[in-house]
Amino acid sequence: NKGLIIDNRGDAESALKTIGYYRLLIYMRHFQSNTAPRNFLPRSKFSSIVALYNFDREIRLLTLNAIEKLEVALRTAIINPLAELHTPHWYLDATHFDDDIKFHGVMGKIIQGAGVRKGLALTHYFDKYHAPVLPPIWLVCEKLTFGALSRFFEALRIDRRKIVARYIWSYPEHLLVSWFHALAHLRNICAHQDRLWNNPITAFSPEAHKTYSGDFSAPTSFYSRAVVIQLLMRELG
């Protein structure tokens, strides 16, 4: 009745059954007029709406795949160099952190994660060892969410953050702090199947890199975060 062409009734019924009208509704808006009664623009097809939805889904999957690699890289960058310099339990020493408040915030997350005893490795540690009271840094980092890991990185003393940053990347530590916060938030958007296409992201805008400042001119865009992913990924080797 509003002018939408149902070009394949069977495919349309399947999409409504498996994806749902409400999820597709936001993609329909692109094909509708801006004023009531929101009729569809000429030659608008239901298959085009589903194609736009699938495009957004593919973008989310590609983004999740890249962020997973960057998350693992950040874990390793926190684990390896500082463990070699300061023992596997260095994180129990508050002097490695900016201040006591940040230290206790990090420790709260670690204790919360360790208390659940997720997985055989963590269970094995607590069954076999009684000191130190918490496991080595490689077990700790594996149990932290990406968001908690990015806050762990930010909480470190600046000289410690520089060590972590230089382990893989050539970018300043303050940029990496901002970028990993942005990517942790972006990961949650993707994991919960929220829309990336044409959807402003108002939280955790990534700090601009001077050389690529033009690419950060729209800080609420997915594009600015895609640039961050590209800059970080190309240094993984």
Distance set, CA 159 to CA 100, 163, 165, 174, 224 (Å): 16, 6, 10, 11, 28
Residue type, 162: K
* Model confidence, pTM: 0.90
Integer Cα distance of 22 and 148 in angstroms: 32
Q: Residues 55-106: pLDDT tens digits?
A: 999 999 999 999 999 999 999 999 999 999 999 999 999 999 999 989 998 8
Q: Which residues pair with 156 in a beta bridge?
A: 97
Residue 173 DSSP label: H
Neighbours of 39 (CB within 10 A): 15
- For 11-59, the pLDDT digits (tens) are 999 999 999 999 999 999 999 999 888 999 999 999 999 999 999 999 9
Phi, psi angle pair for 52, to nearest 5° = -65, -40
Amino acid (one-letter) located at 54 = N
